[in-house]
Structure 1
């Protein structure tokens, strides 16, 4: 798929969140040098998940020295779960220590962004949002609703990078949704594609299991998907109702739309495009998507800047497309 990074998630060391934890020694079933070598051969950079309590106990420099020596590109630090004055200072301290070892940092279990990216170039993203992973938690699973996810671009999304973990392919209606692992998600397949463009995060973490992506309709949208953008245009938006965003990376535009619980038809102007013909590759809801949210239509066409697109979104639906100059190879 052309992904540049892969996370080694929890259970690579044991026990976790425990005074006996040793972040310099992987569990017996995990071959860290082998994983790093395998990834390097494929030009993939590895990230390592770490429980913040274990990191505190062993010390930043000791742990980050080992992580860097192993060959990791960065760390995903979890379970801070506080926005106290002490935690705010801790964020600065951990970012400084990681920077010394040239490690990027994803702050999970974090509070909302407060501008850390302006100071620390190795800060890449943070959670601070109720995202798709909460669909695995029985007492919180009814919180990640279409109303919640369509409101985020107007609230949490304005504050900074948002590690929402979009891209779920176990798409369900509200009535069919169940708590499972991997997590099911409410809404259509096209909506999950759209979230990867609407929600900004320089480190985009897809939420699903690889087996749920292989050979599935829509997965090709992820191939080569940028995570940073040269230009962003909001084409239409209404709080808690819908959003349509176009983002450009190089010469290619990505167009994404999401709505709430009600079906919606929108006419979108293409005036943000440059002159000439553009190749449109679209992933859209179908008439069946309201009942079978995994249903997806992939189409190709040629469009121009003086034209419009009509988007028909299912309940909790979406639309995602790429637009490439027709003259491009």
Structure 2
């Protein structure tokens, strides 16, 4: 059964200005879709543009950064042209954000339960303070907070990092949103707590039917969670496809390198693979493929240094922005030995 497209992003460009007033593109021509109930993982190193892309979708770009062009649609509604009032309505009820650091989402001088109750009231649920407190306790209990009514009276600093993240998730799912945007939700948590948070997100999605955009650099989480993956590098999408296609048959050397760094525990040498070099600064991207200076693909050519590769179909639903995509699979096998 074909699922309805929930979110459509088309040729999105996000930028800023340098010290001399020149335009710098931080996100450059990004396009993707998320269907109802789907999990899309957006993967890339720090600075790849993945968080900025989703911030632009939600109208949460930092000061000095703006959408330069493109289109973002939620159920056919143009979000980039929407008023701030309309965006607040959507962010509270239909589009929910789970931030990387829950301490940035929670007010340190307000009790946790009071903050959740206020979030519920702000987005249309009229209730007394007592009703708000009960609703906050219910939401906290639903995400596994023990003795929720009592714990709701505590301040954020009195909660552990994992418990604070549960509180943020409780607020996010209060109105059964259509889409959860989770930005590195397990960063700085230990492995056991990471697993609990991901299980909690899966349970919340199952309960509400929400789709999810998971922003991460952790391919282990991707393998367990994703329906489809978007790989970003230097502000652009370099590969996209189903989780099976990208793990089994990567068609971009950057994807192959990321997978090799994950899978080397099974390699004969036992040594970890590391992609050489570092990503370029947005204002100093190479003229051709942005990954070319780091690429170890044996078939790399002069064209890689001069021509920007366009995303092209490798198979239905599987795209790659590599001039030599057909030779990546053999390279991937070589670096994972």
> Structure 1 length normalisation: TM-score?
0.33
- Write 1 or 2 for the structure with the bigger share of helix: 2
Q: Quick one: higher RCO (CA 8 Å, sep 6+), 1 or 2?
A: 2
